[in-house]
Amino acid sequence: MASARQVLCLCALLCVPRVRCEPIRYSVAEEGESGSVVANVAEDAGLTPAQLSARRARIASPDGRQHFGLERATGRLVLAERLDREEMCGRSLTCTLAFELLLENPLQFFRVEVAVEDVNDHSPVFPEERVTFKILETSDPGSRFSVEAAQDLDVGSNSIQAYTIAPENDYFSVFIRKRSEVDMHVELVLEKPLDREEQPELLFSLIATDGGSPPRSGTTQIHIVILDVNDNTPIFTQDMYVDLVLESAPTGSVVLRVVATDPDVGVNGDISYRFSQAVSESQLPFTIDTLSGEIRVTKPLDFETTQKYEISVRAIDGGDLSALCKVLVEVLDVNDNAPEVVVSSFSSPLPENTEPGTLVALFAVRDRDSGVNGEISCALEDQLSFSLRPAYKNYYELVTVSAMDREETAQYLVVITAADEGSPPLTTTQTFTVDISDVNDNAPVFSQTSYTMYVRENNIPGVLVGAVSAVDSDAGLNAKVTYSLSPVHPTEQDPCSCISVNSENGHVFVLRPLDYEQVRQLEVLVSATDAGSPPLSTNVTVRLLVVDENDNAPLVLHPAQDSSPPSSELVPASADVGDLVTKVVAVDADSGQNSWLSFHLLRATDPGLFAVGSQNGEVRLRRPVTERDAVKQKLEVLVRDNGRPPLSATAALSVLLLNGLSQEHLPQQELAVQDEDSSLTMYLIVSLVFVSLLFLTSVAAFVVCKVCKRKDLKGGHVLYGTGNLQSSLAAGAAAGTLPHAYCYEINLTTGLGNSEFKFLKPILPSVPPQHSGTGRGVADTEDFPPVPNSMGDAALDISGTPSVGHFNGFPFN
């Protein structure tokens, strides 16, 4: 097949980045085989085959029918099917197939027009194989008799060019009158009078020949019957009737009426009408009334299928004389076709980080109606994230205009409305469902800004104490959250090893028992991390508070329970009711109500002599000391906490009742303590006492008094320490009985009948007298060694545990 390529515009000079100004034109002969090469469209468009493939070049036809194909590898335009010009364009003188060569990235169009050239592949065909004319013998030479012209589907020089008669005769010739390029009026012209008696009928062939090479021809038989009498043929009022009809005309409506007259009378003047046999009445959407000549609609009309109908109507009188006329019915378009939306490409889903201006869809709109009924406008319905952008001719681009957020809107329903300009307008909607794919742009968010959890001390290992929860508004793996522990401070290497968090559900466990007395609270960071790429994470502080359990018994600090023998407290005989003997000091390592301590007198030598304060542990006299009371009193104090169940401890006390000491002897011994650690100092003091005659009498009296008391004490040993003298000294000073609080040692012996005091330096300032007898002092923490006892076995050494009592009205320790 030979194809002539006609490119009517300079492709290289006139093409623009998106749309070529002038189309690329080619021509191809009809009836070519499928796959035949038309032209190299890539070369004419200034493109390379590689560009065609890379930019996904394709052919877009307005009617959706693909007559041609594109070979991307070579850039050649080939026939996709066998072309039949007569089927596609009918009798039209020109037959052009238009389409677009569409390229993407960037979007570009090339308009291509291919003219289909006619070949002489059809012979002329007469409507009837045999035509009979009944002609009066009285017909004058020059009379004309119309013959239905032959039809040739080819056009131009391949259409009918001449009519001839074979065999030639002397009676008739052929006269041709062109009405248009494709329409001829053929008449047989009577050349000489007829004589029925000489020849009642004639039979010859009428041959139509086209101008093809080689030429083709068609033949019909002409049968002339010579009649006698009826010498007038019907005559139409017009050679051609033209009328317009709406394609919406209802069935049965009258289109037009043809009228023919015959001057004859009687049967020869009666005229009947019928359609020419050239077109079967069953193929037409019309019918004609044989008597009135009215042409009516019998089927629905469709402008988009057929725009006009050419019909031949024959009028026949009673003498079988006839005449022909042409009827042209033009169908007017009404707006009966809604616009069509043809999608060329569509991209979904879109990532939520898609940039504004991204092409989402490319589509074309078309309307089969014509004129204003075929003019289309497109619009978006209530959409702020997308916009329409005209691309080329009837093509539109759907593009994004703003950033997407899948967490806000995961799917968009983009409704495009295409409306024509008809009255009333018809519309078509096209819905694009645009899904938004997730991007990991959201970190997990905890349900609380911080978490506080509680665990009881001495917990079992692995106990569940609570859970953290975080959600990620992303989807899929980007929303899958795992939990882990992170160091609280950047300098820490590892998080706390005693707390664990389940990576899947956020449950928090304590892995080992905790001791409230060692650790009261722990603080860790829990990190929630999603599975995106790159992963995003969020930290939250988890504070674990250890709840105290009553697991520690009270601890007695004073009097010390590990000394052997136990220390004793001295109570002078002059002590009043309510005077403080000593104080039990205890602590509990627990907290809260578990550490609230109460004191109870559990046992005593004389239970009625002493009372113990339940809240402060102070041991006081309940009644005055009498001579009948045992000198040595033993007490056992129960210290109990307020836990559930309660725990307790006991404190053992020893109290010595000093019945022989009087209040007057103590004020005479107002010597300062010089050096309690040096035995030499003690001997010097004793030597001075004996040397000085001034003090000899006083010392002798004092020794006699102590010898008397020795018999009652039975050699008992009482030890007073210097570390716990604070409260009793302060009490005595506050009462105003001593100018200063003193720390001193007293030794009583039973064998030699004398006693001695060792006065040491004052350790507290005087307390103002207006304060009552509960003032406190601070004891020296240095332990004093006992004074060497050379006077006997039994010695009273006051240098150990603190005790408060009254000795002849003086508070002392």
Secondary structure letter of residue 797 according to DSSP: B
Percent of the chain with pLDDT over 70: 77
Per-residue pLDDT at 118: 80
Looking at the chain, how many residues does it have?
A: 813
Residue type, 133: F
Q: Is the pTM of this model over 0.85?
A: no
Quick one: average pLDDT of 311-336? Answer: 89
- pLDDT over threshold 80, residue 725: no
Quick one: average pLDDT of 282-292? Answer: 88
Q: Give the pLDDT confidence of 93-148 residue by residue, as tens digits.
A: 788 888 888 888 888 888 888 888 888 788 888 988 899 988 888 888 999 888 88
538 pairs with which residues across the strands?
A: 528
Per-residue pLDDT at 10: 34
Could you name the CATH architecture of 235-332? Sandwich (2.60)
Domain 24-117 of CATH type 2.40.50.100: no
Domain 340-437 of CATH type 2.60.40.60: yes
Per-residue b or e along 118-136, where b marks 16 or more CB atoms closer than 10 Å to that residue's CB: bebbbbbebbeeebebbbb
Quick one: average pLDDT of 66-78? Answer: 85
Phi, psi (5° rounding) for residue 158?
-85, -5
The answer to whether domain 445-547 and domain 555-658 are alike in fold is: yes
- The angle formed by the CA atoms of residues 475, 479 and 482, to the nearest 5 degrees, is 165
| Nearest to 601, CA basis, from 554, 636, 561, 651 | 636
Q: Could you state, in order of their start, the residue ranges of all structural domains in the chain?
A: 24-117, 130-227, 235-332, 340-437, 445-547, 555-658
Per-residue b or e along 774-798, where b marks 16 or more CB atoms closer than 10 Å to that residue's CB: ebbbebbeeebebbebebeebbbbb
Tokens of 575: 């002590």
**pLDDT confidence band for 711 (50 / 70 / 90):** low
**pLDDT confidence band for 564 (50 / 70 / 90):** low
- pLDDT over threshold 70, residue 226: yes
Domain 555-658 in this protein, CATH class: mainly beta
Domain 130-227 in this protein, CATH class: mainly beta
Sign of the C-alpha dihedral computed for residues 561, 566, 570 and 573 taken in this order: positive
Contact predicate 54/44, CB 8 Å: no
Please give the CATH topology (third level) of the domain spanning 445-547.
Immunoglobulin-like (2.60.40)
- pLDDT over threshold 90, residue 204: yes
**pLDDT confidence band for 507 (50 / 70 / 90):** very high
Cis previous bond, 645, omega within 30: yes
Q: Where is pLDDT greater, at 661 or 620? A: 620
Q: Where is pLDDT greater, at 305 or 778? A: 305
Per-residue pLDDT at 502: 93
